[in-house]
Chain A
C-alpha cells in the first residue's frame, strides 16, 4: 500500500510549519510537537481524508529526555494511502484523541496499561488488560519478560504427594502476582457506574462470549442502558515476548494469537518481516501460502458460522460446520504436521513442499464444498428465527466504520470495500481473481451474508492456486534459501554443510535486520491484522506492535448494544466474531 506522497506532505507542511516530514523506505512519518498533535490529526482527518484510524501505540526509549513516543497510524480510503504521525510525550503524558476517533479510547487505555502514559482528556483511563491495583507497566524496557516473582505458589500436585526437598519436579516456587477476587471486583466497579436497575456480568467464563471476554451490562428491565467490556483474561504478553526473541522465533506465537486462523496470522507476520529484511519469495511459495491462507479463511468462517449459530440455538449448523472443518484440518495437518497452530510458513517461503496428493484432496474439497454451503444456506438464510434474530440488529453505519477503525467482514458488511488483499496485495493475491462482497444495511444479517460469500470467493482463489501449482514443476523452489536471513529447507540442512552452517548461524544469532520501521498488514478473517515493527538493527525487534482487527471490531460493541436487549448481545457478538487470543494478545 502506498504511503502519503510528497505532494500531500508538502501541502500539510504548509499549514504546519514546525512539523518534520520523514520518508523512510517503507513509511511516511510526520513528526509533530505535542501541542500541535490534535490540530494535525484533525486536519488530516477533515481536510486530507485520513479517516480510518488504524492504530495507536507507544514506543519506550528510556535514554531519551521524554521517554515515550506516541505513534498514530492513519489511512485514507479515497487515495489508498497510509501515514504515521509521531509525537513525544511530555512529562509522561499525551493528549487523548478519543474525541476524533472513538476507538482510540481503547488504544489509549492499552498504552496506559502497558507503558503508564497518561492521556489528558480521556473519559475513563483504566487498566486495559491487567487489573486495577497492578503496580507495574509491563512493556517498559526496564520490566523483565518474566515479571517480578513475589508470591509463593507451590504446585498443589506436589503438596498432595507430600512436599519434598528438592521439589518433585522442576519449577520456580515464587510466582508473579496473582490478583484476588477483591482486585477483580475493584476492576469491575471502576469500569461502570451503575445508573439503572442492575449490573449483569456476562463472562468472562461463559461459552457465549467466544473465549474469555467480560461484559458488563447496566440493565433497565431487559434494556441495556450502558455497557462496558473488560479484556485481558487472555493477555499473555505477546508484544513483550516479541521484543525478547528473534524474528523467526516469533512465528509460532502468531499462530496462538488468533488461533482459528493461524496461517493467515503467519502470512501477515512473514509479509511484514520480509519487507523489513528485503526477502523475495519464490512463486511456488507464494501460491502455496495463498492457498493455505484461503483454506484457513474458510476454516475460520466455518467456526464463526458454527458457534454463532449455536449461540442462537441452532445446534445442527455447529455439527455440520465442524464436519467440514475436520476436512480442512486434515489437509493442513497433512502438510504442516499440525492441525490448529500449524507454523507452516517460514520467512522466505514455506516449511515443506506440498505433500504428495495434497492438490487432489484440495480439488475434491473444492468440488464438494459448494454443496455443503448450500446446506448451510438451507438451514439459515431463509430461516424465520434466524432472520428475526439477525435482521436490523446491530446496524453499523459507514461513518462508524471509520470512527471505530473497523475492518474485515464487519466493515464490508456496512458497505465499505476495505480489503487488504486488493488494496495492498501480498502473497499471490494480485495474480488471482476474486470479488469483494459488501453489504448494504450493515446489520448482523449482512455480515452473515458477507462471510458466506467470502467463503465462495475463497474457493475461487483456491481453485486458481491449485491449477497454478499443478502447472509448476515439482522441483521449483518453495523457499528463497539464497537470502542470508532465510533458513534452508530441512532436507538441505541434513545433506549440505553450507546450509547447515547457515541454519546454525541463524538459529543461534538470529537474522540481522536493518534499522528502520515497517507497518504491514494482512486481511484476516477477523479484519486487518497489522504488524508495526520498529527495528534499531540486530536480530530482535525493538518494538513489535500487533494491530488486532478483532480488538477494534469489538470496540464498537458498547455503542451498538446501547438501548438493545440482552438477546441481541449474543447475535451481535457472534457477528463481530472476536477471538480473545488476538484482542488480548
Chain B
C-alpha cells in the first residue's frame, strides 16, 4: 500500500486490500481437542489477549476462516473435523497447534491420526507439547505473513486443486440415508 499524499488518498490493488483485511481479521473456530486447547484458551484470555490481533473466536464454522487444530486428533474425530473444515467458507486457513496435530506427537498408536495434514491442508505448523501461548501468537503472525506474501487468489487456486484431489481419491463424504 502506498500513501500518495497527505490528502488522505491511498493507492493500492484490490488484491492487496483484501489480503490486508483478511489477515487482520482471522476468526478461528472455537474448537478444543486436548491439552493444547488449554493453552489456546490462555492465549485468548487476558494476559496474551488474541483479540488485539483481530483474532476473535467464533462458535460457528460458517463465520470462521481459521481452524486452529489444538490437541490430539484421533481417527474417530478426524472425519468430524474434516466436515467442519468443509463447512467453513473460502478463503480459509489451518494452523496445527502442537506435536499431536502436526504429526501424531508422542502418540504413535492405533487410534491416533498421524498428522492433521493427512485430511486437510495445513498452513502453519506450531511445534511444542503444548506450545506456549507465545508460540501460538507467533504462529498466527506467521500465517498473517503468509497471507500477505501469497495473496488470496493464489491460495484459492491451490485449494481448488486440493478439492479435485480429494474427489479423485473418493474421500468426499456422501449423504447417508438411514
Contacts and interface: CB of A to CB of B under 8 A. Distances in A.
A146 B110 contact: yes
A341 B80 contact: no
Interface string A375-406: 00000000000000000000000000000000
A156 B75 contact: no
A172 B162 CA distance: 20
Nearest to B120: A156
B140 interface: no
A178 interface: yes
B119 to A, nearest CB: 7
B75 A177 contact: yes
B59 A207 contact: yes
A504 interface: no
Given A235-B74, A236-B109, A236-B112, A156 B119 contact: yes
A233 to B, nearest CB: 5
B103 interface: yes
Q: Name which of B72, B111, B115 has the most chain A CB atoms within 10 A of its CB.
A: B111
Interface string B15-43: 00000000000000011111101110110
Contact of B80 (A155, A184, A256): A184
A312 to B, nearest CB: 15
Contacts, number: 167
Residue among B34, B83, B103 with the highest chain A CB neighbour number at 10 A: B34
B110 A160 contact: no
B33 A212 contact: yes
B88 interface: no
Contacts of B111: 129-130, 138, 147, 176, 235-237
A237 B30 CA distance: 26
Interface in B75-127: 75-81, 83-84, 103, 106-115, 117-122
Interface in A183-240: 184-185, 189, 204-205, 207, 211-212, 232-237, 240
B114 A172 contact: yes
B176 A160 contact: no
A72 interface: no
Given A130-B76, A157-B117, A181-B176, A259 B38 contact: yes
A205 B81 contact: yes
A234 to B, nearest CB: 6
Interface stretch (A319-327, A489-497, A507-515, A543-551): A319-327
A145 interface: yes
A536 interface: no
Interface in A253-273: 253, 256, 259-260
Contact of A339 (B71, B132, B165): B132
A160 B121 contact: yes
A171 B115 contact: yes
A466 interface: no
Q: Chain B interface residue count: which class?
A: 35 or more
B68 to A, nearest CB: 12
B34 A581 contact: yes
Contact of A181 (B33, B113, B117, B173): B173
A241 B104 CA distance: 14
Contact of B42 (A207, A232, A237, A322): A322
A278 interface: no
Nearest to B48: A326
A147 B113 CA distance: 11
B77 A204 contact: yes
Contacts of A131: 76
B14 interface: no
Nearest to B113: A178
Nearest to A147: B110
A139 to B, nearest CB: 10
Interface in A318-376: 318-319, 322-323, 325-326, 329, 339-341
B34 A259 contact: yes
A211 B107 contact: no
Contact of B122 (A157, A253, A303): A157
B110 A145 contact: yes
Contacts of B39: 339-340
A329 B112 CA distance: 28
Contact of B107 (A180, A182, A237): A237
B119 A153 contact: yes
Contacts of A189: 178
Contacts of A240: 109-110
A182 B83 CA distance: 12
A143 interface: yes
A138 B109 CA distance: 10
B121 A156 contact: yes
B80 A211 contact: no
B53 interface: no
Contacts of B83: 181
Interface of A: 129-131, 136, 138, 143-148, 153-160, 171-172, 175-182, 184-185, 189, 204-205, 207, 211-212, 232-237, 240-241, 252-253, 256, 259-260, 303, 307, 318-319, 322-323, 325-326, 329, 339-341, 580-581
19 contacts: A129-B111, A130-B76, A146-B109, A155-B117, A155-B118, A159-B162, A160-B121, A178-B113, A179-B79, A180-B79, A207-B59, A236-B109, A256-B34, A319-B46, A322-B42, A325-B42, A329-B42, A340-B35, A580-B34
Interface of B: 30-35, 37-39, 41-42, 45-47, 59, 71-72, 74-81, 83-84, 103, 106-115, 117-122, 129-130, 132, 158, 161-162, 165, 173-174, 176, 178
Given A179-B75, A233-B80, 5 more contacts: A171-B114, A235-B74, A236-B74, A236-B107, A322-B46
